A and B are shown apart, each in its own frame.
Chain A
Amino acid sequence: MKQTIPILLILSLLTLFTACDDSFLEENRKKTDSYILDGTLFVYPTPQFTEVTFALADLDVNRFKVSRYKVVQYPRILHFASLHGEIDGSGKLTFDIKVDPFESTVSLEPLELGTIILDIDGFGLLSIPVMHYNPGIPHAELSEQLLDLDSVSIEKEFTLTNQANGYLFYRLAAKPEWIRLSQQSVYEDSFQLDSTRLLYPFSQTSFRIIPDRDQLPAGTHEGEIILETNDPDNPRLLITVKVVVRSFKNPYSMIPLEGKVIDAEFDKLTNCAILITQNPAQLITYQLDRKEKQVVNLERNPSCIQLSSDHQLILVGMNDRIESFQLSTLQRQESFVTGFIVTDITDGENGRYYFSDTNNELYSVERKTAEVINHTAGVWQNRIEGDVLLKLKGKPTLLLSRKTTSPNGVFMVDIADPASPRLLNYWHTGFGARYWTTEDQQLLFSTNDGKVYHTPDETTGEEIRETGKLIPYDSGYEYFYYFSSFDHNKERSVIWGAYASLVSLGRNIVVAFDDSHYNRQRTIILNDYVFNVSGKADYYKTMAHYLFTSSNGSQLLLVKNIDSHDLSTNAWHLELVNITNE
């Protein structure tokens, strides 16, 4: 029994020694490997547990083995369904979390919410950054869906607007190669394909589109600008871009003319235009149906033309001469010596041609005898004046006017006695440098202001009755709309007017009106004309000085010249415009 005491003492000491073992402190000296995941866990408030999966294959976490992990740290707004779990042999880490609601303001910068740290057996500590990203929800809008750069525009602009509280990211996903995009607010900027830009909430930005026509063949080209955005309602914004590349060649529908066009007429019976030019002195016909141009050189400079009442002859007034030509053959038929420049001429349908000189004096020549009579001489009250003549069809009546006097004055002359014209009436008004009428001559158009009048007759009182006005475009301040010529097409019930634009106005147009209420039906912008100046071809604005429609109203023939500030030259040409279906 005496041995019992030492045994008890030894047992007690062993217990004491066991309790004095400090080896557990060695754990503090062990180094733990730490890794930061090359990625971020972005979270949003969720009331339910949501599965989150990471692929840790790149980290070589105990490859091909199942590893256990423990969560050792996590952001306090997170809740883990379990604070431990497993990573499978392929490195797939999965856990379920839910996220408490938290204040989230729209910001471009991610909100750092902390770090999850996992202690993975046999691997070490793995840190997973946790962030919240709330760029808001933008709303993108474009100012334009179509940008037409036409043939001359250097650039066009469109605006991208973000009308909501969200950052708008937009990527230039596509654009035609022949345009360059430049952001207005960025100096020497070029918005490159596949690049992404940012637009702040409730803001807008503008882009210039600059075409590079040099790399394109002649013709019309169309392409699309596509912006991909983070706007959920408008993930793709599309703008169609058009550009026209000129060939610096006039199309076949433009027929160049030599010299300066002095006067033009049109015969609707044969669809034939008749022109006279100076320098060179020529008589030109252009047959619309056959697209055939005929030219006859004249011995003297012509000054006016008119068709005979039977539409068989072209009467040409010229310097010191009146000549007539067969419309169909352009063979000269008659020649009368006048001794002066004939300013206008008309067929009196009484065996005489009536004509005027530069002194506004009225003459006639008897076709059989070639006798020329001056009808202006007489007492001044009955003096007949004019260098503009209009023979009213089926009536022994002439209307005279003065080109360069204001007002032009309207003289009504009775030619029932062919050799002794008699002044019937005079109205102190005018309709411009030429009488333009409807086909039936019932209405007169004024080139001064576009007004339409009833053609005066013997019953017309002191005032020539106005019936309407042709207004070529809407304007808040203009009242006088100058025209250079008119054409009435009875078949289509259309009145065409060639607007006499000032260059500065830039309204190089011809306009169609209905002949009942004079409403504007259609406007055609005149094509530019390629003209060679000092060896360099360029496009020039044009203006129509005469216009004619074919008898069926399907074609429009324009007699044009270039219309330029700095270029005063003769580049006269015809242009044929098909107006069938428009």
Chain B
Amino acid sequence: MAILSFSHVRKRYPGGFEALKEISFAVEPGEMVFLTGHSGAGKTTLLKLIAAIERANGGTVLVNGQNVSAMRPAAIPFLRRNLGLVFQGQKLLFDRSVFDNVMLPLIVTGYPYREAARRARAALDKVGLLEREKANPVTLSGGEQQRLCIARAVVNRPGILLADEPTASLDAAYADEIMEMFSAFNQVGVTVLVATHDRQLIDKRHKRVLTLDHGKLL
């Protein structure tokens, strides 16, 4: 059964702009899928619907068999705990260390501290930031900050990883490195959905590609 499926999903923003029109697709567990399209095509909106940051105006969004578009607000936190989100402009907290930024999702879900610390270090190790755990995120480069966001997204060991333009502000070599990281998570069984407009990165990897054009799936 699909881990993620859209059927006839529509999203209209207040003011009448139709961001998504009749979107239907399904993603199998363990799949890695690229989502592409021009800017304003609806990539970000689609990802936001999965995490219940926005609600669809029609159709159903199923995540792990749960209908997200009809979910009670009180159930949303528990949906998000199984999602790793790497979103554009997603902020790091500059009032605490790299380590504490990664700890946050575990503290929020009530992990015992010792076990949480072990996991946080493991996540930092995977993205190559273990030596910087005591640093303040403000001292990290753009690419390192993006890696920190990824560590924070995977520390909970989510079943689905969603990334919105994770390589937007990075040079080609660095972008490739980030993309390799997502592939690595996919290889250990995580379902990965990456939105990007960078065709070069997509073409290298021979994965399924969903293309959005003015809110429609091609």
- Whether chains A and B associate is no
